[in-house]
A and B are shown apart, each in its own frame.
Chain A
Amino acid sequence: MTRDDVRNAVIGILTDIAPDEDFDALKDEEKLRDQFDLDSMDFLDIVMELRKRYNIEVPEADYEQLVTMTSCIDYLQPLLKNQQMAS
């Protein structure tokens, strides 16, 4: 996946778990929680959806990697790339 692909994948998950939010104006460098009504249960939803949709395990120690969109992409792209290569 390209960085844009990963971004779109994360937006897809966020749209499902926070359907009242408008993610069009999302600022990639700012914390997701500062921009949207997201709490710890929502972040657990992100982790669960990454597991279900992309077979990615995010260990608890790495949850902080999901704080901004940019950090999400930085963290997830290698994992998604590896998954693609593996498949």
Chain B
Amino acid sequence: MVDQKNPDWRIVITGVGLTSPNGNNLAEYRENLLQGKSGIEKIDIRYMGEVLAGVCNFDEFKYQKKKERRRGTRAGSVGIYCAHEAITDCGIELDSFDKSRIGIYCGVTEHGNVETENEVFNISQYGYDVKYWSHHHNPRTVANNPAGEISLNLKITGPHYSIGAACAAGNLGVIQGCQMLRLKEVDMALAGGISESIHTFGIFASFKSQGALAWHEDPEKASRPFDSSRNGIVCSEGGCLYTLERLSDAQKRGAKIYGEIVGYGVNSDAFDFVLPQPKGQTDCLNMALNNAGLKADDIDIVNTHATSTPQGDIQECIAIRNVFGNSKNTWINNTKSYIGHAMGAAGALELAGNLPAFDDKIVHPTINIDQLDPECALDNLVINQPKPVDQVNYILNNSFGMLGINSALIVKRFEI
């Protein structure tokens, strides 16, 4: 449990940098969530043809030179954009900060598929002669690539690495940053998640072979968690990095505080490669509540992980009923219904979409529900219309992933 009396142990969010399929900063993103605006569109990808995806349209060259972009990866570019935006938002002058005391922790579902597919395609144009294989392949595909590109771009010399945790990675990046601050390994963490996954046909093809790839004639209707006609995942790219600091440091410099990370749970199902399991998720939710010293009814918003797959959504609803079934004050929502599944970025990005609720006191709904699946008919599920509430004190963010990795993160409205 967090020692609330020790300001060195309390970790707060002081900056947010993001790019989502429906917004390139927190204000724009939040506005589009409250307006019910989706970011899903049709795109063409190699070998697959037309698929549905969430595409980000941030300006890659706002913070990167053209050569840097050419040499690097889309994930690196997403990360650099988010890192700059977060640092600007948190209000520090980077050059007056000890850059050796900043850690970069990027959650990724996968990294390297895009670049490897591109190189295989490249050499296919030369009769598969490997002498045409790029010398850029290794630095582009090492697992720390996006975090490393942020380090290179911003000249940050503290630790940088990726957290590979399938689709729970966005939460795990934040948790890692939190832990490193508490251990005093760093004085600021750039932490969250990043995804470039829509640029690899393999992700789409694998979900399609698994029967888990969404399709709808209207792209904006395709991601529809909890609806009876949901038929799979919409893959998205995106990123969200937070600046995290110890409360003592944040207060010393008079920083704006978005919220305090008061608890988390991480565990494994040890059950199946792809199928989720309500027991593991239930345990994870309880672990997070225990870690924060809270009861289920203390939580005002649960952002579900639900990805719009027929089975996965039901499994998560079972876990939520197990923990929040008697919580009259807990509202349930979903953010993937707008932005699709941003993979490694999902956890961090979906949390960001909810953070403004501390101030505007509105729970954004899950959209695209025409006919609610009876098995997903949770009490207090906020459907299609935003829900004004009296107060939001605690947000719990679910993020689960393949191989049975579960995570739940709890953020509290900041009070001195």
Contacts and interface: CB of A to CB of B under 8 A. Distances in A.
Interface of A: 17-20, 37, 41, 44-45, 48, 51-52
Contacts of B208: none
Contacts of A17: 67, 70
B66 A41 contact: no
Please list the 3 inter-chain residue pairs (A to B) with the smallest Cβ-Cβ separation, ordered nearest first: A19-B66, A44-B135, A20-B65
Contacts of A51: 131-132
Interface of chain B: mostly helix, strand, loop or mixed: helix
Contacts of A52: 126, 132
B378 to A, nearest CB: 52
Contacts, number: 22
B136 A41 contact: yes
Contact of A48 (B67, B70, B135): B135
Q: Is the interface of A mostly helix, strand, loop or mixed?
A: helix
A37 B131 CA distance: 26
Contacts of A45: 135
B132 A18 contact: no
A49 to B, nearest CB: 11
Contact of A20 (B66, B134, B135, B136): B66
Given A18-B67, A45-B135, A48-B135, 19 more contacts: A17-B67, A17-B70, A19-B66, A19-B67, A19-B70, A20-B65, A20-B66, A20-B67, A37-B67, A41-B71, A41-B135, A41-B136, A44-B135, A48-B132, A48-B134, A51-B131, A51-B132, A52-B126, A52-B132
Contacts of A37: 67
Interface in B53-87: 65-67, 70-71
Contacts of B134: 48
B119 to A, nearest CB: 12
